[in-house]
Chains A and B, each alone.
Chain A
Amino acid sequence: MAITSVKNLKEFSTSNDRFEGAHLLCPGCAHSMIVRELMNCTDDNLVISTNTGCLEVSTAVYPYTSWDTSWIHIGFENAATAAAGAEAMYKARKRKGTLKNPDAPVKFVAFGGDGSTYDIGFQWLSGAVERGHNFTYICLDNENYANTGGQRSSATPIGASTTTAPAGRVSYGEKRNKKDMLAIMAANGASYVAQVAPNKWKNMAQAFQKALSTDGPCYINAMSACTTEWKFDPKDTINISDLATDSLAFPLYEIINGTELNITYRPKNVLPVKDYLAAQGRFKHLFKPENAHVLEEWQKRVDEKWEYLQRREEARV
């Protein structure tokens, strides 16, 4: 794989953009930071498929495309299937010798939002990973269906107020906990699974490069702070991401071959999860006295998860 150096930011800045501006994502959207970084961290040809979602509707508004690579969109659920199909055909044509340029390195990447990954495209993703296609699936996890007005998905964490799980007099918002997609994908047989966040750009670029150079299906869960539905100021995207990774609400780790877990970022000062929640409008109601138990629940779950990850890393399993 022809990789761009990500040793330091200055060297990385000499890479060439293949994701163009004037897409219609919200100002301050983290989706484009993640996508652009993926495309900048390699010089290989990319074949990209995208599930329906914010990214798809905003980057391919006829008559414009923001993609400088091969790009395909089919339906809500099947970016994984499209990438798998393209990869299978590429392999077959390579074997038959009918490729125009057989030596050019090609990588297959699929993007999906959390709605199309955790819920709607779950079966399709699971199938593609099970078949062992050589592709990388990147979930842009903004914890709700942001494109259609902020409905809950199974990635929505407990206590978040969404349009289909609104907080009010009776309810404190979403009651169920977030699905652990990384554990599911690792158990599903993915060769490489990682959680990344755009504020840790180097960590993210290294995970992308590792996934692209790994033979077999890879799954990356990228935290994508959503200024519209998490309800914070567009300028604060990176600040919110910092709070998320430093409070361990989004721990950054990787699982290799389903058996080797490494924590890839350890915050020097662990912040209380309250700080992360207080910065977002969707958790505003949790700071009322009657909802104090949800804050405790949040902190407890974050602590338990971190403890679990550390124990797994230590035991090398």
Chain B
Amino acid sequence: MSNVLSNEKRGMRELGAEKKVGWNEVTHGVVLHSFEDDAADIALRKAEDRKYSEFSSYTATVASWRVIKPVYNRDICIDCQNCWVWCPDSSIISRDKQILGIDYDHCKGCGVCVEVCPTNPKSLLMFGEALSSDDAIAQWPVKEKKEK
């Protein structure tokens, strides 16, 4: 999940221009193909089995939008998939009914996943962008006692 197109290259690729292309120079009626191969059965393929073209936003990143990031703790997770269904940026990676982790290329750090997480303590928490995931997991809170 690397970033194929860096920000400096935006808008240049289609015309092969050296400078950035302005609104008036953009090709009219351009068709952007999301895939490099035949996409007829694309609904049956997982992301890792697809050949995304450089035009698909899958190959781009919005990681720079984030100031806080969700960190995922596998030990507490019950694989309920709440975070998967409500993630607005398709950034929770789920395979075979299991959560594998977070796609930090596409996550914008909104925090919806933390809000919808039902475990106690939560298996997803927001931490500062600069903190490493290992450090974050080391300072994970312990189970809260239920208030009577």
Contact = CB atoms under 8 A, between A and B. Distances in A.
Interface in A16-44: 16-25, 27-33, 36-37, 42-44
Interface in B64-120: 65, 79-82, 84-91, 94, 96-97, 103, 105-112, 114-116
B86 A201 contact: yes
Interface string A206-244: 000000000000000000000100000111111100000
B43 A43 contact: yes
Contacts of B127: none
B39 interface: yes
B130 interface: no
Interface in B1-51: 5, 10-11, 13-14, 26, 30, 32, 34-35, 39-40, 42-47
Given A21-B90, A30-B88, A235 B43 contact: no
B28 to A, nearest CB: 11
B60 interface: yes
B133 interface: no
B123 interface: no
Interface residues of A, number: 54
Contacts of A10: 79-81, 97
Tell me what chain A mostly uses at the interface: helix, strand, loop, or mixed: loop
A12 B84 CA distance: 10
Given A63-B14, A66-B56, A236-B115, 15 more contacts: A2-B43, A10-B79, A18-B43, A20-B56, A20-B57, A21-B106, A21-B107, A22-B62, A24-B62, A27-B65, A27-B108, A28-B111, A62-B26, A64-B55, A235-B110
Interface of B: 5, 10-11, 13-14, 26, 30, 32, 34-35, 39-40, 42-47, 54-58, 60-62, 65, 79-82, 84-91, 94, 96-97, 103, 105-112, 114-116
